[in-house]
A and B are shown apart, each in its own frame.
Chain A
């Protein structure tokens, strides 16, 4: 057992007296909790203070209406990702994976925006607060995912790495855009109270073109500082940056950058900007002066912004492996010992250290759902970054997380369909889990049952198919829907149940003298072979049809064969023999002599057995009377028929 990473959180269940003994039971995604009477001395205290059984859900986010969109949409992306798998290699594969990662992120963003709208529209404070906390969780997810995308999937080398990180910061510290619109919206931007803040933020984010435009506005409005603004603007313009289409090498870039930096330093030493503290501070920022940067804590918002700005102006060609050194020092400097790092800081730090497992572990602890870690881990696994890691229980980490997530989906009354595909892509334990979960889905309508059956049939889960069909057949039988019951047992290929239903049909026939559900029985086709009793039912009905159509010779042969082949249950022989009576009494001879002998044999067989196992006082004498009359009538009819048959056959031969 590994050591715990933290104290488990205590969850108080409203309405449950925690001082009393409680009992619980594990479910797939939930726990049942209730109070017990255990350890109570007096019977007067037997009144339960809480008569309820509580269901404790683990994965609460599954029940959020807006997050359902995230689950559904990302399910499509997940399935698509599993398909691209083996086809591609090298560069195109990487491009594909990056695109998948971006798709995931855009789904998170869409969800975040909707949540944001709802939070704004929400009138009551409580739910509004809940939504805005969800927004911040989603935003953190996207932040982490984006960083992981840059570091693990894109695997940007020195140079482009910084460009990606800049984009990352710009995307997540986006208050500047509204501020920019606000400042530009006024008639005289340079007189706006936040003007210098805005310019500073632009510089901090490396948006130097925009910063330059703002400075030129200041120069126009304030001719006294015009020269200074122009000089700083020129410095901004000439700062060497690696552009994506450029072919220059890193060494060339570094050389140019050194020259530029020296020029900046010279201006600072010459006190070019002495007259304007704001401009001077901007110049210092552009030199990567840490003290000046830390003065702008408010505008930087967070340590990773500080890190990226610091890298931009002091180490523009930072290598991926050096990243964690700067990250750690940036975090330390930014927090300055005043506060301790939060979970998000730890996660980002782990990412900068390229410790994927730590990232996933911290995320699992910090986030309230499995969606994020399951999907991220799966994606990273497709980047072949996780292969070495096996857990000491179950399967590997990817599979473990996917199973957790899918189980959460299955606990939901409606999202279970999504879970199926996740189980499908867990090679080791997925199938077993699916088998266990799928049988437990409540089946209210046949349509839902058909959907579940389709899932099972596609995966050759014959045991589950049988069990589901049996449940449905049983339900139909209880509702006296014999036709449905029979259809389901045929689909389940459940011979025992088909026999049971066939017996019900025969019993109904004996009671009412007519068959119900003829549309089904007449069209059994090859399904009739499922059980002997079902075959008998079908054949017996065929006998009635032939008889009804006055096709007597066919009917009589069928009737006899039902008994001689022993398909008919012995309990039913008497009925069959009685059915033979009208045939024996027809004008023309239907049963041949040989057939009549066979019938007689059947009758004797039946009566002799009856004598053997007869219990003296079990049967009422009245029943006996009817039985005896029936027997005598049969014997008489058989004897008469035999006589006629012998004469007919003899005369035919003679003629």
Chain B
């Protein structure tokens, strides 16, 4: 993986997201958004990895990403999601949710919509105290947000007010959210629980609670398998990767020892779901490949061997392994062949965020660098 390209950008990057490609498009990804945190002024920025720099430059590297435009953002960018081709939703540490609109004709960003008090503490010592919004997920036209105040908000992009709010949905901090099936969402919290909510149900009780037994290790990120909606991956404070089958059991199907510190994000590859990507506070970025089932492939860990401390701890508590083809749910240790590659050349400060789209991957770090690779599967 020699073709990873780094650029220092003078701000700590909290989130990186590829702009989705138009349906049916044959292009590869070329624009991504980043959000910064812990600066005096934080920004949401758009970058291009287009080829325009190639012809004239003699010193510029091929694929060096260029800044397209940026806009100031109040507070840390806690989460960032593309709503559609032009609109980006940003979550702030002030509790504000902002929809930014990208004008492609003159390369500028403007505020399209804002919910200023989406997350706040209701019974605070001061009159009003915003609570950081920690996660958002978009499914046109809906936006779901979760925050440190334990609240879940459901917004519709053309509505001024929240369509639905679940106060005190969680007694602890909600760290991330994602859609399971359209009216259902799954959230993870700081006491190791995974909760499934159904917006068709009234009241503020979750439809289902799954949890890690024992140590109540906080979960920081969650992603759903793109094709098998019952398969969910989460990452925890101890760097463990957990795979859950939400149809059965209240415990994870498997726990995989992964990073040495908080796992900040986990993503299934959108079109090749046998590939999974994780990043962590310990400064590493890993590519998990579960597609290998050829027994003749002798070496389990190939060249990127920094990560060979990998140790599989699959818990075989599922007696009735269904005939599902998902390689993530297989609990047979003999078949449990997951190849892990470390994608970053050297250990840096925390890798806060990553995103994959097609053969492209982008990640951002606290060392103020953005890494991009365009040949994930070469």
Contact = CB atoms under 8 A, between A and B. Distances in A.
B125 A445 contact: no
Contacts of B150: 481, 483-484
Contact of B132 (A445, A523, A525): A445
B5 interface: no
A445 B281 contact: no
Interface string A462-489: 0000000000000000111111100100
Given A445-B148, A519-B193, A480 B121 contact: yes
A319 interface: no
A76 B346 contact: yes
A523 B191 contact: yes
A644 B173 CA distance: 50
B10 A66 contact: yes
Contacts of A526: 214
Interface residues of A, number: 40
Which of the listed residues B40, B148, B213 has the most CB atoms from chain A within 10 Å of its own CB? B148
A478 B124 contact: yes
Interface in A43-71: 65-66, 68-69
A80 B283 CA distance: 14
A389 interface: no
Contacts of A525: 213-216
B247 interface: no
Nearest to B124: A479
Contacts of A418: 349, 367
A484 B121 contact: no
B132 A413 contact: no
Nearest to A421: B349
Interface string A505-516: 000000000001
Given A72-B8, A417-B349, A447 B172 contact: no
B78 A523 contact: no
A497 to B, nearest CB: 16
Contacts of A68: 8, 10, 368
Interface string B163-202: 0000010111100000000000000001111010000000
B214 A444 contact: no
Contact of A69 (B93, B173, B193, B368): B368
Contacts of B129: 479
Interface stretch (A137-145, A324-332, A448-456, A585-593): A448-456
A527 B172 CA distance: 15
Contact of A523 (B134, B193, B261): B193
A85 interface: no
Contacts of A447: 37, 76, 78, 132, 134
B39 A413 contact: yes
Given A414-B38, A446-B190, A519 B171 contact: yes
B175 to A, nearest CB: 8
A478 B149 CA distance: 12
B348 interface: yes
B123 A480 contact: yes
Contacts of A80: 346
Interface in B215-239: 215-216, 237
Contacts of A458: 261
Max count, chain A CB within 10 A of own CB: residue among B214, B216, B346, B347: B216
Interface in B119-137: 121-125, 129, 131-132, 134
Contacts of A481: 121, 149-150, 171
A450 B238 CA distance: 12
Contacts of B75: 444
A171 interface: no
A76 B38 CA distance: 20
A417 B168 contact: no
Given A72-B367, A72-B368, A65 B346 contact: no
Interface centre among A80, A446, A458, A517 (most CB of B within 10 A): A446
Contacts of B216: 523, 525, 527
Contacts of B172: 483-484, 487, 519-520
B94 to A, nearest CB: 9
Nearest to A482: B171
B10 A444 contact: no
Contacts of B10: 65-66, 68-69
Interface centre among B11, B123, B125, B172 (most CB of A within 10 A): B172
A73 B368 CA distance: 9
B339 interface: no
Nearest to B368: A72
Interface in A136-188: none
A189 B171 CA distance: 81
Given A414-B39, A479-B125, A484-B171, A450 B191 contact: no
B237 A450 contact: yes
A450 B150 CA distance: 17
A454 B122 contact: no
A75 interface: yes
Given A445-B76, A481-B150, A450 B124 contact: no
A454 B238 CA distance: 10
B355 interface: no
Contacts of A446: 132, 134, 148, 173, 190
A444 B93 CA distance: 8
A523 B190 CA distance: 12
B68 to A, nearest CB: 18
A446 B214 CA distance: 23
Interface in B23-68: 37-40
Given A65-B10, A450-B281, 12 more contacts: A76-B348, A79-B347, A413-B39, A414-B38, A454-B281, A483-B150, A484-B173, A487-B172, A487-B191, A516-B168, A519-B170, A525-B213
23 contacts: A66-B10, A72-B367, A76-B367, A414-B39, A417-B350, A417-B366, A445-B148, A446-B190, A448-B37, A448-B38, A450-B262, A450-B281, A478-B125, A479-B125, A480-B122, A481-B121, A481-B149, A482-B171, A484-B150, A484-B190, A519-B171, A519-B172, A526-B214
Enumerate the 9 nearest inter-chain pairs by beta-carbon distance, A residue then B residue, closest first: A483-B171, A517-B171, A480-B123, A479-B121, A69-B8, A478-B125, A68-B10, A445-B132, A520-B171
